[in-house]
Structure 1
């Protein structure tokens, strides 16, 4: 038993450490020691300065090209150009290496770098090359930039956001959305005076980029009121018998105090991103949270758009609510939802007898009297 436990433990990868950096320091010191004893110190310093200058220049040109790409994403990914520059150049490591380069240059500034004979032995050249690359590794110049890491993670779907989006889809939406229509029909049979607004009978998923998930929507916006729950969907899953899934119906009131019903909820995985950004051990910054929230929306939209089972049963409502307290309209959320309801009604196939005056528009919320939901008090009778 202990043997099998040991084998299982050996299969679990350990966290990566700093062996690579320490090995680079050893290579750098070993190479410098060889060059120091094989020729004059000044010649060694001059050749190091020359090689580092070429490496810095070549690396800077490559990262300048990366910066030009990131400039296209400043409005959506960065707050300003400085953050885009830091993402492209990794300024912390770049700055450390540049400082050391200047110090080396100060040692030999009185002589021209090209005015000395370069040692011609192969071993000397190899050691010089090893020293320079180890030097750049130690000071982080060779480390991938934030822009490179982001590009690799997005293309290979390594982001936290991609994992959360797929988990949300496979573990929840894939079961709930295909059964939504049946649940709505059962609810309409059990509750009287429920409006048959087919264009609104889909799951509206709120995606706040701040990742702030509120348990009670009516406390966020007074124009949002809880109306009722759809019948529970019970599925045997992961060893849990009759695991229960439930969706809630809300009434969204417009400026004329008319209710518009829809099935509404937050994208719950965003709560994980919010908690990660507030936990120091996760090392997850507010900027990373915002980026991952946006990528979550993009990934989830792509997954659902390619899902035949979920087609027509969802609508994502992304919005940026990461503003200072008091600067946001108290009815910001209800207004946002009503706009999506209006757009959904515009996109819905309009019957021939329906006139354009009965269609909800984004500027003026108008619906036919036959579609107006009854007050909540009368619905409960």
Structure 2
């Protein structure tokens, strides 16, 4: 399903590899400049710089290792092996150790880039020690962009946990039963669903401020009734009840559009966290988490076979809060888009159903009827029926011997 353009303009895309490309370009230009100025000591300078850049994190890792081994080896690592858990957690990874070893070997083979060897070792030791100091003090700490990239890449944000909880604890359970619930609702209420949507419309406001009654937020929306309850045994609760509410949305022509609408309940948690000072969760962080919640939930549902084509995520922008019919307009916009994207198959007429073989006698029943140069195609699909021929059965044609004729032509 195509997404609306106004929603795409708000959703942040995952960060790409442009920083890596820029870093490679800068490194290539720097190496090219050194090669042009002093090509005879290029390998020595490269080895020296790599050794400094790797020894600094290793010295900082020693400082972290002292803290972890003395105060957290039992509580955080439960006494697990030093080499397999504590050392990698402190930064002593295989890549860092391998780069430092290769840089030391290259420096030994290429020779020191400075005139005096003592100057190289002084620079190496002093730079690495100061790096560990500044790193521990937070001067060389990661930027907000780096922290955000790490959290998004490793799914460590609050929004990721809420999105997965909303899917696994609710949507995965109720969406496969939604179609049957709507059918049972139409049978019991003798209601014609009409132009309504048979999907669950999930509202996600950017400000995370949720109204518990939609009709109080927009007078073009009216509560109709609840769908039949779904009772599911869940986490020790026998027959836990899950329900959905049906609403009627009035358009500008006064026509009703029935739909099942509800807010994404995890947004209540985000809003409550932003109201608590101890949570350290302000309004800008809340807005960012709402957008990440929308993107994460969309990615989860797009890969879910149980929920496919049974939902619609609606992101509500809070820039037009003064509009009293903002919610109904958003719902109608998505309902109309859904109607345009779905192909409606025209049912066969009553005459075709009474006499499906009516038509010119020369045309077979399956052939389309002709009207001048225009073809009147039959419906694209219809209920399967048994087709009986009214003609008498004809005898099978006797075999004709033609072997002599065949051999005569050879």
TM value normalised by structure 1 = 0.58
Provide the secondary structure at the position in 2 that maps to 1:200. Answer: coil
> 1:253 offset after TM fit, Å?
1.0
Alignment-derived partner of residue 323 in structure 2: 329
Provide the secondary structure at the position in 2 that maps to 1:308. Answer: coil
Equivalent of 2:216 in 219, 222, 240: 219
Alignment-derived partner of residue 184 in structure 1: 182
Alignment-derived partner of residue 101 in structure 1: none
CA distance in 1, matches of 2:240, 2:274: 30
Superposed counterparts of 1:1-381, under 5 Å: 120=118, 124-125=122-123, 128-197=126-195, 200-321=197-318, 328-352=322-346
CA distance in 2, matches of 1:280, 1:268: 21
Consecutive aligned runs of 4 or more in structure 1 exceeding 6 Å deviation: none
CA distance in 2, matches of 1:118, 1:139: 32
CA distance in 2, matches of 1:286, 1:347: 36
Provide the secondary structure at the position in 1 that maps to 2:308. Answer: coil
Provide the secondary structure at the position in 1 that maps to 2:309. Answer: coil
Provide the secondary structure at the position in 2 that maps to 1:143. Answer: coil
C-alpha contact (below 8 Å) 2:194/2:257 kept by paired residues: no
Alignment-derived partner of residue 77 in structure 2: none
5+ residue gaps in structure 2? 1-48, 54-114, 349-410
CA displacement 1:143-183 (0-9 Å, x = unmatched) = 11111111112122111111111110110001100000111
CA distance in 2, matches of 1:316, 1:121: 63
Q: How many residues align?
A: 237
> 1:341 offset after TM fit, Å?
0.4
C-alpha contact (below 8 Å) 1:230/1:246 kept by paired residues: yes
CA distance in 2, matches of 1:249, 1:159: 33
Structure that is richer in helix per residue: 1
CA distance in 1, matches of 2:119, 2:299: 58
Larger radius of gyration: 2
Alignment-derived partner of residue 363 in structure 2: none
> 1:136 offset after TM fit, Å?
2.4
> 1:194 offset after TM fit, Å?
3.1
CA distance in 1, matches of 2:179, 2:240: 19
C-alpha contact (below 8 Å) 1:187/1:230 kept by paired residues: yes
> 1:268 offset after TM fit, Å?
0.5
Change (3 A) 1:275 1:118: farther
Provide the secondary structure at the position in 1 that maps to 2:239. Answer: strand
CA distance in 2, matches of 1:119, 1:280: 56
5+ residue gaps in structure 1? 1-50, 56-116, 355-381
> 1:329 offset after TM fit, Å?
0.8
CA distance in 2, matches of 1:322, 1:207: 14
C-alpha contact (below 8 Å) 1:205/1:264 kept by paired residues: yes
> 1:303 offset after TM fit, Å?
0.8
C-alpha contact (below 8 Å) 1:250/1:264 kept by paired residues: yes
C-alpha contact (below 8 Å) 1:222/1:331 kept by paired residues: yes
> 1:353 offset after TM fit, Å?
6.3
> 1:131 offset after TM fit, Å?
4.5
Higher relative contact order (CA 8 A, sep 6+): 1
C-alpha contact (below 8 Å) 1:209/1:322 kept by paired residues: no
CA displacement 1:292-343 (0-9 Å, x = unmatched) = 11111111111111111111111110121156xxx52110110011000000
> 1:121 offset after TM fit, Å?
6.7
CA displacement 1:188-226 (0-9 Å, x = unmatched) = 1110233344x6111000011111111111111111111
> 1:258 offset after TM fit, Å?
2.1
CA displacement 1:98-157 (0-9 Å, x = unmatched) = xxxxxxxxxxxxxxxxxxx99947775455224421442255232111111111121221
C-alpha contact (below 8 Å) 1:210/1:322 kept by paired residues: no
